[in-house]
Structure 1
């Protein structure tokens, strides 16, 4: 059970996540949201196994760029790599990435979606509504925590800079 929200704000991309692991158990250290260097933030919703495998994969791989084809190739490589790590692996998660000046999500069905603000996970509807109303990702995640039993504080937020000249998603 998860909520992860992201938003492009001027020259930065912010992503926040709650801390509920499952059915009311909260952890204060990252289980959903990770910052990789100064260039990439990702959060995962779904199976913790998938999130942890993505974390390991990101130790040695990043998308060539945030263009859709490069993101799809990156995700296909992740799935192939995960199958070599765990026989019978099937992806069952969604990921939210801040990378290369863009905010995008990718699902286990290989759907890539770009946005200036978005949310994934079981509290996504509440978080997206809060983002739409002008709230920050941290505030949006807290709204989801307040309104559904499937999300819980504390809220963690990471930020990365957008390269100058980054295009806003259309």
Structure 2
């Protein structure tokens, strides 16, 4: 159970996550949200196995860009890689990425969605409504924590500088 919320700001991309792992057991580090170098932040919702495999995959792989075709190719490579690591692997998770000036979600069904703000996980509706109303990702995650038993504080947040092809 989880909630992860992200938002593109003028100069950066911010993603925040709660700390609930499952059924009320909180863990404050290394479960859902990661910053990889200075240019990528991602959070995962679903099976912790999938999130941890994505984290390992990102040690040696990056999307070529945040364009849809490159993201799809990156995700297909992740699935192939994960199947080599774990016999019988099937993806059951969603990911929220801040990368290459964009915020995007990719699901196990290979659906890539871009947005100025987004939320995934069991508290996504509450967090997305809060983002729509102008709240920060950290505030949006806290709203979800306040309104559903499937999310729990503390809230973790990472940001990256917003860089685009034009250098903005």
Normalised by the length of structure 1, the TM-score is 0.96
Structure 1 residue runs of 4+, over 4 Å off?
A: 167-170
Q: Cα distance 1:143–1:18, how it changes in 2: closer, same or farther (>3 A)? A: same
Q: Can you give the 5+ residue segments of structure 2 that lack an aligned partner in the other structure? A: none
Deviations 1:118-170 (A, max 9, x none): 100000000000000000000000000000000000000000001xxx38999
1:130 alignment partner in structure 2: 130
1:35-54 equivalence runs, <5 A: 35-54=35-54
**1:9-158 to 2 correspondences below 5 Å:** 9-158=9-158
When normalised by structure 2's length, the TM-score is 0.97
Deviations 1:75-100 (A, max 9, x none): 00000000000000000000000000
For the residues of structure 2 that align with 1:95 and 1:58, how far apart are their CA atoms? 13
TM-aligned CA distance change 1:114 to 1:51, over 3 Å: same
Distance apart, 1:30 and its partner CA: 2.2
Q: 1:83 to 1:5 in 2, by over 3 A?
A: same
Question: Contact 1:102/1:169 (CA < 8 Å) preserved in 2?
Answer: no
Q: Secondary structure at the match of 2:153?
A: coil
Matched positions, count: 167
Q: Do the aligned partners of residues 95 and 53 (structure 1) sit closer, same or farther apart at CA in structure 2, a change above 3 Å counting?
A: same
Q: Identify if the C-alpha distance between structure 1 residues 97 and 132 changes in structure 2 by more than 3 Å, giving closer, same or farther.
A: same
Q: CA deviation at 1:28?
A: 1.0
Residue 60 of structure 1, CA deviation: 0.1
Q: Is the 8 A contact 1:15 1:98 kept in 2?
A: yes
- What's the RMSD between the two structures over aligned residues? 2.0
